[in-house]
Copies of this chain bind each other. A is one copy, B any other.
Amino acid sequence: MIIVMQAGASREDLDRVVARVEELKLKPHTIVGTERTVVAVVGDERDIVGSGLETLPGVATVMPILAPYKVASREVRPEPTIVRAGPLVVGGGHVGVIAGPCSVESREQIVATAQAVKAAGATGLRGGAFKPRTSPYSFQGLKEKGLELLAEARAETGLAVVTEVVASEDVALVAKYADVLQIGARNMQNYRLLEAVGKTDVAVLLKRGPAATVEELLLAAEYILDGGNMQVMLCERGIRTFESHTRFTLPLATVPWLQARTHLPVVVDPSHGTGHANLVTSMAAASVAAGADGLIVEVHPDPKRAASDGGQTLDIPAFEKMMAVCRRVADAVDRKLG
Protein backbone atom coordinates (compact mmCIF):
# COMPACT_ATOMS: atom_id res chain seq x y z
CA MET A 1 0.00 0.00 0.00
CA ILE A 2 1.26 3.45 -0.89
CA ILE A 3 0.01 6.40 1.14
CA VAL A 4 0.49 9.66 -0.75
CA MET A 5 0.59 12.78 1.42
CA GLN A 6 -0.81 16.13 0.29
CA ALA A 7 1.65 18.72 -0.99
CA GLY A 8 1.10 20.85 2.09
CA ALA A 9 1.01 18.07 4.70
CA SER A 10 2.75 18.90 7.93
CA ARG A 11 5.32 16.91 9.86
CA GLU A 12 2.58 16.07 12.40
CA ASP A 13 0.37 14.70 9.64
CA LEU A 14 3.18 12.43 8.53
CA ASP A 15 3.93 11.25 12.06
CA ARG A 16 0.26 10.44 12.62
CA VAL A 17 0.13 8.32 9.49
CA VAL A 18 3.31 6.47 10.40
CA ALA A 19 1.99 5.81 13.89
CA ARG A 20 -1.32 4.49 12.56
CA VAL A 21 0.46 2.14 10.13
CA GLU A 22 2.59 0.76 12.96
CA GLU A 23 -0.52 0.32 15.10
CA LEU A 24 -1.90 -1.86 12.28
CA LYS A 25 1.23 -4.05 12.63
CA LEU A 26 2.62 -3.05 9.23
CA LYS A 27 5.98 -1.52 8.37
CA PRO A 28 5.94 2.07 7.10
CA HIS A 29 8.67 3.31 4.81
CA THR A 30 8.77 7.08 4.28
CA ILE A 31 10.10 8.53 1.02
CA VAL A 32 10.42 12.30 0.74
CA GLY A 33 9.95 13.39 -2.88
CA THR A 34 10.53 16.70 -4.59
CA GLU A 35 6.87 17.68 -4.35
CA ARG A 36 5.20 14.97 -2.30
CA THR A 37 6.02 12.58 0.47
CA VAL A 38 4.81 9.00 0.24
CA VAL A 39 4.68 6.25 2.82
CA ALA A 40 5.16 2.78 1.38
CA VAL A 41 3.64 0.12 3.61
CA VAL A 42 5.08 -3.36 3.76
CA GLY A 43 2.90 -6.32 4.85
CA ASP A 44 -0.36 -7.92 3.77
CA GLU A 45 -2.56 -4.93 3.19
CA ARG A 46 -5.57 -7.13 2.51
CA ASP A 47 -6.00 -7.38 6.26
CA ILE A 48 -6.52 -3.66 6.68
CA VAL A 49 -9.03 -2.86 3.96
CA GLY A 50 -11.18 -0.01 5.14
CA SER A 51 -8.91 1.02 7.97
CA GLY A 52 -9.73 4.65 7.33
CA LEU A 53 -6.14 5.67 6.60
CA GLU A 54 -7.44 7.92 3.84
CA THR A 55 -9.35 9.99 6.39
CA LEU A 56 -6.25 11.06 8.31
CA PRO A 57 -5.34 14.74 7.93
CA GLY A 58 -2.75 15.40 5.25
CA VAL A 59 -3.40 12.19 3.32
CA ALA A 60 -4.08 12.72 -0.40
CA THR A 61 -4.73 9.12 -1.51
CA VAL A 62 -4.12 5.53 -0.57
CA MET A 63 -3.20 3.16 -3.39
CA PRO A 64 -3.37 -0.60 -2.86
CA ILE A 65 -0.66 -2.74 -4.42
CA LEU A 66 -1.74 -6.31 -3.84
CA ALA A 67 -4.61 -7.75 -5.83
CA PRO A 68 -7.37 -8.42 -3.29
CA TYR A 69 -8.21 -11.94 -4.51
CA LYS A 70 -6.14 -14.91 -3.43
CA VAL A 71 -7.36 -18.42 -4.26
CA ALA A 72 -8.49 -17.43 -7.77
CA SER A 73 -5.06 -16.01 -8.50
CA ARG A 74 -2.51 -17.52 -10.84
CA GLU A 75 0.11 -16.67 -8.28
CA VAL A 76 -1.49 -19.27 -6.01
CA ARG A 77 -2.09 -21.84 -8.75
CA PRO A 78 -0.13 -21.31 -11.97
CA GLU A 79 -1.65 -24.13 -14.08
CA PRO A 80 -5.12 -23.56 -15.59
CA THR A 81 -8.18 -25.16 -13.97
CA ILE A 82 -10.13 -27.40 -16.33
CA VAL A 83 -13.82 -27.67 -15.46
CA ARG A 84 -15.44 -30.99 -16.38
CA ALA A 85 -19.11 -31.90 -16.11
CA GLY A 86 -20.05 -35.01 -18.09
CA PRO A 87 -19.12 -34.41 -21.72
CA LEU A 88 -18.57 -30.70 -21.11
CA VAL A 89 -14.91 -29.73 -20.85
CA VAL A 90 -14.00 -26.08 -20.37
CA GLY A 91 -10.41 -24.91 -20.34
CA GLY A 92 -6.99 -26.38 -21.11
CA GLY A 93 -7.39 -25.94 -24.85
CA HIS A 94 -11.02 -27.11 -24.97
CA VAL A 95 -13.64 -24.55 -25.93
CA GLY A 96 -16.78 -25.99 -24.35
CA VAL A 97 -20.08 -24.99 -25.93
CA ILE A 98 -23.26 -24.70 -23.85
CA ALA A 99 -26.41 -24.02 -25.86
CA GLY A 100 -30.14 -24.02 -25.33
CA PRO A 101 -33.16 -21.84 -24.73
CA CYS A 102 -33.40 -18.96 -22.31
CA SER A 103 -36.31 -20.70 -20.54
CA VAL A 104 -37.39 -24.33 -20.42
CA GLU A 105 -40.92 -24.23 -21.82
CA SER A 106 -42.00 -27.80 -22.57
CA ARG A 107 -40.64 -31.33 -22.90
CA GLU A 108 -40.85 -31.13 -26.65
CA GLN A 109 -39.03 -27.79 -26.81
CA ILE A 110 -36.15 -28.75 -24.54
CA VAL A 111 -35.59 -32.24 -25.95
CA ALA A 112 -35.71 -31.05 -29.56
CA THR A 113 -33.27 -28.26 -28.75
CA ALA A 114 -30.95 -30.61 -26.89
CA GLN A 115 -30.84 -33.03 -29.78
CA ALA A 116 -30.18 -30.29 -32.29
CA VAL A 117 -27.44 -28.52 -30.35
CA LYS A 118 -25.76 -31.85 -29.58
CA ALA A 119 -25.78 -32.73 -33.26
CA ALA A 120 -24.12 -29.39 -33.98
CA GLY A 121 -21.37 -30.03 -31.46
CA ALA A 122 -22.50 -28.59 -28.12
CA THR A 123 -21.65 -30.59 -25.00
CA GLY A 124 -23.70 -28.57 -22.50
CA LEU A 125 -27.41 -27.75 -22.49
CA ARG A 126 -28.56 -24.47 -21.00
CA GLY A 127 -32.16 -23.75 -19.99
CA GLY A 128 -33.70 -21.65 -17.25
CA ALA A 129 -36.16 -23.19 -14.81
CA PHE A 130 -35.97 -20.45 -12.19
CA LYS A 131 -35.96 -17.17 -14.11
CA PRO A 132 -35.01 -13.89 -12.46
CA ARG A 133 -37.00 -11.34 -14.46
CA THR A 134 -36.77 -7.56 -14.35
CA SER A 135 -40.54 -7.26 -14.19
CA PRO A 136 -42.78 -9.19 -11.78
CA TYR A 137 -45.26 -9.45 -14.63
CA SER A 138 -42.92 -11.45 -16.90
CA PHE A 139 -42.82 -15.26 -17.16
CA GLN A 140 -40.89 -16.57 -14.12
CA GLY A 141 -40.02 -20.09 -15.30
CA LEU A 142 -41.40 -23.59 -14.77
CA LYS A 143 -39.40 -24.05 -11.56
CA GLU A 144 -38.96 -27.70 -10.45
CA LYS A 145 -40.98 -28.95 -13.40
CA GLY A 146 -38.40 -27.25 -15.62
CA LEU A 147 -35.57 -29.02 -13.82
CA GLU A 148 -37.27 -32.36 -14.44
CA LEU A 149 -37.55 -31.58 -18.13
CA LEU A 150 -33.86 -30.69 -18.26
CA ALA A 151 -33.06 -34.04 -16.68
CA GLU A 152 -35.16 -35.75 -19.31
CA ALA A 153 -33.30 -33.93 -22.05
CA ARG A 154 -30.03 -35.07 -20.47
CA ALA A 155 -31.30 -38.65 -20.38
CA GLU A 156 -32.05 -38.42 -24.09
CA THR A 157 -28.80 -36.77 -25.17
CA GLY A 158 -26.15 -37.10 -22.49
CA LEU A 159 -25.52 -33.35 -22.51
CA ALA A 160 -24.44 -31.67 -19.27
CA VAL A 161 -27.26 -29.59 -17.80
CA VAL A 162 -26.43 -25.95 -17.00
CA THR A 163 -29.19 -24.10 -15.18
CA GLU A 164 -29.52 -21.10 -12.94
CA VAL A 165 -30.04 -21.08 -9.20
CA VAL A 166 -31.37 -17.81 -7.80
CA ALA A 167 -31.50 -18.33 -4.04
CA SER A 168 -29.49 -20.17 -1.44
CA GLU A 169 -32.57 -22.08 -0.30
CA ASP A 170 -32.91 -23.60 -3.79
CA VAL A 171 -29.32 -24.81 -4.09
CA ALA A 172 -29.99 -28.33 -2.84
CA LEU A 173 -32.96 -28.74 -5.17
CA VAL A 174 -31.23 -27.40 -8.27
CA ALA A 175 -28.04 -29.33 -7.50
CA LYS A 176 -30.10 -32.55 -7.64
CA TYR A 177 -30.73 -31.95 -11.36
CA ALA A 178 -27.89 -29.76 -12.62
CA ASP A 179 -24.39 -30.61 -13.77
CA VAL A 180 -23.45 -26.94 -13.62
CA LEU A 181 -25.05 -24.36 -11.34
CA GLN A 182 -25.31 -21.01 -13.05
CA ILE A 183 -25.10 -17.82 -10.97
CA GLY A 184 -26.76 -15.10 -12.99
CA ALA A 185 -25.41 -11.61 -13.48
CA ARG A 186 -27.94 -10.08 -11.08
CA ASN A 187 -26.75 -12.46 -8.35
CA MET A 188 -23.00 -12.11 -8.84
CA GLN A 189 -22.79 -10.35 -5.49
CA ASN A 190 -25.48 -12.38 -3.69
CA TYR A 191 -22.91 -13.63 -1.23
CA ARG A 192 -25.25 -15.98 0.63
CA LEU A 193 -25.90 -17.75 -2.65
CA LEU A 194 -22.19 -17.83 -3.55
CA GLU A 195 -21.42 -19.39 -0.17
CA ALA A 196 -24.15 -21.97 -0.69
CA VAL A 197 -22.87 -23.14 -4.09
CA GLY A 198 -19.34 -23.06 -2.69
CA LYS A 199 -20.35 -25.83 -0.31
CA THR A 200 -21.60 -28.15 -3.08
CA ASP A 201 -19.43 -30.30 -5.32
CA VAL A 202 -21.25 -29.21 -8.46
CA ALA A 203 -19.45 -27.08 -11.05
CA VAL A 204 -20.40 -23.39 -11.13
CA LEU A 205 -20.73 -20.88 -13.97
CA LEU A 206 -20.42 -17.41 -12.43
CA LYS A 207 -21.64 -14.59 -14.62
CA ARG A 208 -20.16 -11.13 -14.39
CA GLY A 209 -22.60 -8.47 -13.20
CA PRO A 210 -23.16 -5.71 -15.75
CA ALA A 211 -21.54 -3.11 -13.49
CA ALA A 212 -18.98 -5.34 -11.85
CA THR A 213 -15.29 -4.75 -12.33
CA VAL A 214 -13.13 -7.73 -13.18
CA GLU A 215 -11.65 -7.52 -9.70
CA GLU A 216 -15.14 -7.78 -8.20
CA LEU A 217 -15.83 -10.80 -10.40
CA LEU A 218 -12.69 -12.48 -9.08
CA LEU A 219 -13.66 -11.61 -5.50
CA ALA A 220 -17.12 -13.10 -6.06
CA ALA A 221 -15.38 -16.27 -7.28
CA GLU A 222 -13.33 -16.21 -4.07
CA TYR A 223 -16.55 -16.67 -2.07
CA ILE A 224 -17.16 -19.94 -3.94
CA LEU A 225 -13.55 -21.13 -3.89
CA ASP A 226 -13.29 -20.24 -0.22
CA GLY A 227 -16.09 -22.75 0.43
CA GLY A 228 -14.00 -25.51 -1.10
CA ASN A 229 -15.58 -25.76 -4.57
CA MET A 230 -12.81 -25.26 -7.12
CA GLN A 231 -14.85 -26.10 -10.26
CA VAL A 232 -15.67 -22.52 -11.14
CA MET A 233 -16.01 -20.94 -14.60
CA LEU A 234 -16.10 -17.17 -15.00
CA CYS A 235 -18.49 -15.81 -17.63
CA GLU A 236 -18.23 -12.50 -19.46
CA ARG A 237 -21.71 -11.52 -20.62
CA GLY A 238 -21.42 -7.81 -21.24
CA ILE A 239 -21.39 -4.65 -19.21
CA ARG A 240 -23.60 -1.58 -18.99
CA THR A 241 -22.21 1.34 -20.92
CA PHE A 242 -23.65 4.30 -22.79
CA GLU A 243 -24.06 2.14 -25.91
CA SER A 244 -27.68 1.41 -26.70
CA HIS A 245 -27.47 -0.31 -30.07
CA THR A 246 -26.54 -3.48 -28.24
CA ARG A 247 -28.24 -4.72 -25.07
CA PHE A 248 -24.90 -4.73 -23.26
CA THR A 249 -21.36 -3.96 -24.40
CA LEU A 250 -19.28 -7.14 -24.69
CA PRO A 251 -15.68 -6.34 -23.70
CA LEU A 252 -13.67 -9.28 -25.00
CA ALA A 253 -10.35 -7.97 -23.69
CA THR A 254 -11.62 -9.35 -20.40
CA VAL A 255 -10.80 -12.83 -21.66
CA PRO A 256 -7.00 -12.52 -21.98
CA TRP A 257 -6.86 -10.14 -19.01
CA LEU A 258 -8.54 -12.67 -16.73
CA GLN A 259 -6.54 -15.57 -18.11
CA ALA A 260 -3.32 -13.79 -17.23
CA ARG A 261 -4.46 -13.37 -13.62
CA THR A 262 -6.57 -16.40 -12.75
CA HIS A 263 -6.37 -20.12 -13.37
CA LEU A 264 -10.16 -20.32 -13.74
CA PRO A 265 -11.52 -20.78 -17.26
CA VAL A 266 -13.37 -17.92 -18.95
CA VAL A 267 -16.62 -18.45 -20.88
CA VAL A 268 -18.31 -15.82 -23.06
CA ASP A 269 -22.05 -15.31 -23.58
CA PRO A 270 -22.49 -13.55 -26.94
CA SER A 271 -26.30 -13.75 -26.68
CA HIS A 272 -26.71 -11.52 -23.62
CA GLY A 273 -23.54 -9.69 -24.58
CA THR A 274 -25.17 -8.30 -27.72
CA GLY A 275 -28.92 -8.86 -27.36
CA HIS A 276 -29.34 -9.34 -31.10
CA ALA A 277 -29.35 -12.70 -32.86
CA ASN A 278 -27.67 -11.27 -35.94
CA LEU A 279 -24.59 -10.23 -33.95
CA VAL A 280 -24.14 -13.53 -32.09
CA THR A 281 -22.13 -15.50 -34.64
CA SER A 282 -19.59 -12.72 -35.18
CA MET A 283 -19.11 -12.28 -31.48
CA ALA A 284 -18.92 -16.01 -30.81
CA ALA A 285 -16.15 -16.26 -33.41
CA ALA A 286 -14.42 -13.23 -31.92
CA SER A 287 -14.62 -14.79 -28.45
CA VAL A 288 -12.95 -17.96 -29.64
CA ALA A 289 -10.25 -15.95 -31.41
CA ALA A 290 -9.70 -13.95 -28.21
CA GLY A 291 -8.99 -17.20 -26.41
CA ALA A 292 -12.29 -17.97 -24.62
CA ASP A 293 -12.45 -21.36 -22.92
CA GLY A 294 -16.15 -21.73 -23.61
CA LEU A 295 -19.31 -20.25 -25.09
CA ILE A 296 -22.84 -20.14 -23.75
CA VAL A 297 -25.41 -19.36 -26.42
CA GLU A 298 -29.19 -19.04 -26.53
CA VAL A 299 -30.79 -21.38 -29.08
CA HIS A 300 -34.47 -22.13 -29.61
CA PRO A 301 -36.26 -24.04 -32.36
CA ASP A 302 -38.59 -21.08 -32.90
CA PRO A 303 -37.15 -17.89 -31.39
CA LYS A 304 -40.13 -15.72 -32.24
CA ARG A 305 -42.28 -17.89 -29.96
CA ALA A 306 -39.73 -18.09 -27.14
CA ALA A 307 -41.11 -17.24 -23.70
CA SER A 308 -38.18 -14.90 -23.08
CA ASP A 309 -35.20 -13.30 -24.85
CA GLY A 310 -36.46 -14.17 -28.33
CA GLY A 311 -34.62 -11.30 -29.94
CA GLN A 312 -31.18 -12.58 -29.06
CA THR A 313 -31.81 -16.28 -29.68
CA LEU A 314 -30.45 -18.27 -32.62
CA ASP A 315 -32.60 -20.80 -34.39
CA ILE A 316 -31.14 -24.21 -35.16
CA PRO A 317 -29.74 -23.47 -38.64
CA ALA A 318 -28.11 -20.26 -37.37
CA PHE A 319 -26.54 -22.18 -34.49
CA GLU A 320 -25.18 -24.80 -36.86
CA LYS A 321 -23.63 -22.06 -38.95
CA MET A 322 -22.17 -20.43 -35.85
CA MET A 323 -20.59 -23.73 -34.83
CA ALA A 324 -19.06 -24.21 -38.27
CA VAL A 325 -17.44 -20.77 -38.14
CA CYS A 326 -16.27 -21.16 -34.55
CA ARG A 327 -14.75 -24.57 -35.26
CA ARG A 328 -12.57 -23.07 -38.00
CA VAL A 329 -11.57 -20.15 -35.80
CA ALA A 330 -10.76 -22.51 -32.91
CA ASP A 331 -8.48 -24.48 -35.22
CA ALA A 332 -6.79 -21.24 -36.26
CA VAL A 333 -5.88 -20.50 -32.64
CA ASP A 334 -4.93 -24.10 -31.85
CA ARG A 335 -7.93 -24.92 -29.73
CA LYS A 336 -10.57 -27.60 -29.93
CA LEU A 337 -14.23 -26.60 -30.06
CA GLY A 338 -16.74 -28.76 -28.16
CA distance A68 to B325 in the complex (A): 34
Say whether B242 contacts A134, CB under 8 Å.
no
Q: Closest chain B residue to A189 by CB distance? A: B186
Chain B residues, Cβ within 8 Å of A56: 304
Q: Closest chain B residue to A260 by CB distance? A: B278
Give the contacting residue for A251; candidates B63, B169, B243; CB below 8 A.
B243
Say whether A240 contacts B252, CB under 8 Å.
no
Which chain A residues (184-201) contact chain B, with CB distance < 8 Å?
A: 186-187, 189-192
CA distance A190 to B52 in the complex (A): 30
Give the contacting residue for A135; candidates B222, B304, B310; CB below 8 A.
B222
Instruction: Name the segment of A79-87, A114-122, A328-336 touching the other chain.
Output: A328-336
- Tell me the number of copies of this protein: 4
**Shortest CB distance A53–B (Å):** 7
The reply on A2 being an interface residue by CB < 8 A is yes
The reply on A142 being an interface residue by CB < 8 A is no
The reply on A112 being an interface residue by CB < 8 A is no
Give the contacting residue for A250; candidates B43, B246, B251; CB below 8 A.
B251
Give the contacting residue for A136; candidates B8, B223, B252; CB below 8 A.
B223
Which chain A residues (212-240) contact chain B, with CB distance < 8 Å?
A: 213-216, 219, 222-223, 226, 239-240
Say whether A66 contacts B35, CB under 8 Å.
yes
Q: A243-B239, A253-B250 are in contact. Are A68 and B135 (CB under 8 A)?
A: yes
**Shortest CB distance A332–B (Å):** 4
Give the contacting residue for A328; candidates B192, B257, B332; CB below 8 A.
B332
Chain B residues, Cβ within 8 Å of A242: 211, 213, 239-242
Q: Closest chain B residue to A23 by CB distance? A: B305
The reply on A267 being an interface residue by CB < 8 A is no
The reply on A46 being an interface residue by CB < 8 A is yes
Give the contacting residue for A252; candidates B52, B63, B219, B252; CB below 8 A.
B252
Chain B residues, Cβ within 8 Å of A137: 46-47, 49, 68, 70, 222
Say whether B55 contacts A191, CB under 8 Å.
no
State the 5 A-B residue pairs at the shortest beta-carbon distance, nearest first: A52-B310, A211-B211, A52-B304, A289-B289, A328-B332
